[in-house]
Every structure is written in structure tokens, then in C-alpha cells.
Amino acid sequence: MASSTSGSQTNGNKDTVSNKVKSGKRTLSDVLIGPARDVRDPQVFHSLSLVAFLAWVGLGSDGLSSSCYGPEQAFLALGHHQYLAVFLAMLMALTVFIISASYSQTIDLFPTGGGGYLVATKLLGKYFGLVSGSALVVDYVLTIAISIASGADAIFSFMPISWHPFKFYLCLAVVLLMVLMNLRGVKESVLSLLPIFIAFIVMHVWLVGYAILSRAPELPSIVGDAVKEVHASSSSIGMLASR
């Protein structure tokens, strides 16, 4: 009886959507965020699921957005101790490796999917899950805010100074645009980011590869100078302070 009722409701929702399409009437919400979907329709899962590459784009956008401003700010924080940039780059690569290894273990334990909240709840308990979920909310808010602000700074860095008062309004417009993109669905938002993601990867592979290859003969001397500077700093101010 319950299955027949849910089936009739599903058919009714399909009929409503089809009638709306046939009549040609589209509301503002249909234009902005798309038509309503029935979560009980088994075809919805197949239409919303992402292939591995698109899932990589969706998950990798967070890390790539942080890489646009994170290394720069870390380098600026070094101040006059720019020789530590070599060790900073090594530690960044090690951090990425550790995170990737932990993700691999998470995928093995939760093959059907699981974020920080689910993993912490299942493995450590509900209170740890709440802490992880709260941390994720704060992390997402800060990531979006800092990424948009950093992107606006990069764009307005080559704009006339008289245009700088409009930077705040550009940030608001980008936030609203991202809200609309996510309301339309995961697949739609990922597809819109796909050209930007590919351009970012291609350009950075070329730029980083060119920088490393063009300075390859100088790398041993750069590393050697960095080690000498560390020893000099540790002898004058102590190893703990130099770190």
C-alpha cells in the first residue's frame, strides 16, 4: 500500500512537471535554480551523480582556490627570512601528501562517500562528529570569504585606483552567483567551473614547470644557501627561534 502511494505521488510529480513544460510556463525560480526534483524518483540519482573526473573538479576546486593566495601569504610572512621558502615548499608538499594518504584511507573505509562529519561520527562518536561538522562550516565560510576577497584583490590590482570602491560590490555579486550555482545543483556548478579548473591546471603546470626547468642549474646553490642561512640564524638567535 505504501509503495503504491509513493508511486502515485511520484507519477503525480512527474505529471506536474511535464504539464508545466508542455504549457511553456516557467517561473523565476525555474530559470534561476531549475525545476523541482522528486527525491524519491530513482532516476534523480543517476542524473545528479558525477563521473570521477567531474568529482575531482568539484573537490579539487577548494584546494586550488587556497593555492591562489596561501603560498603568497606564507612567503610574505617570512619577511627577511626568505631562505626558509625552500623548507616551506617542502613542508607544503609533505602536507598535501599526508592529506592525500588520509583521503585514500577514508575512501577505503567509506566507499559510498563520507565527509568529516560522517567519518568522525562513525569512528569517534557523535560529539566528535559535531565538532568536525562545526569546524567544516567555519572552514567553508572562511574559504569562500577569503577566496573571493583574494580574487577581487588580484583583479583590482591592475585596475585604476578610482575603481577600487567597487571591489566590495563585486565580492557580493560573486557570492550571490555562487549561491545560485549551488542551488541549481552540484553537476551544474561543477560543469560551469570545469573550464576555469582546466585552465588553472594547464597554466600552473606550464608556469611551475618552466620556472623549475629554467632554474634547475641553480637549485643546488639555492638549497645550499638556504641551509647556510638556517645555520647562521640558529647560531645567532637559537634553533627554536629560527624555526
**Which of helix, strand or coil describes residue 80?**
coil
- The answer to whether 84 touches 223, Cβ cutoff 8 Å, is no
Q: Is the confidence at residue 241, as pLDDT, over 80?
A: no
- The pLDDT assigned to 47 comes to 58
Q: Is the confidence at residue 2, as pLDDT, over 50?
A: no
Q: What is the pLDDT of residues 112-130, one digit of tens each?
A: 767 788 888 888 888 998 9
Answer whether 0.75 is exceeded by the pTM: no
- 71 or 133, higher pLDDT: 133
In this structure, which amino acid lies at residue 70?
Answer: G
Q: What is the pLDDT of residues 78-95, one digit of tens each?
A: 877 777 787 888 888 888
Task: Give the separation between CA 9 and CA 162, rounded to whole angstroms.
Answer: 57
| pLDDT tier at 203, thresholds 50, 70, 90 | confident
Q: State the alpha helices, DSSP H only, in 110-238.
A: 116-123, 126-156, 167-184, 186-214, 219-237
**Which of helix, strand or coil describes residue 118?**
helix
Q: Is the confidence at residue 229, as pLDDT, over 80?
A: no
- The pLDDT assigned to 131 comes to 92
The CA radius of gyration of the chain, in Å to the nearest whole number, is 25
- The answer to whether 146 touches 175, Cβ cutoff 8 Å, is no
66: Cα within 13 Å, side-chain hemisphere:
12
How high is the mean pLDDT of the chain? 76
- The answer to whether 89 touches 212, Cβ cutoff 8 Å, is no
Q: What is the pLDDT of residues 162-200, one digit of tens each?
A: 898 899 999 999 888 888 877 777 777 777 778 888 888
146, burial (CB in 10 Å: exposed 0-12, middle 13-18, buried 19+): middle
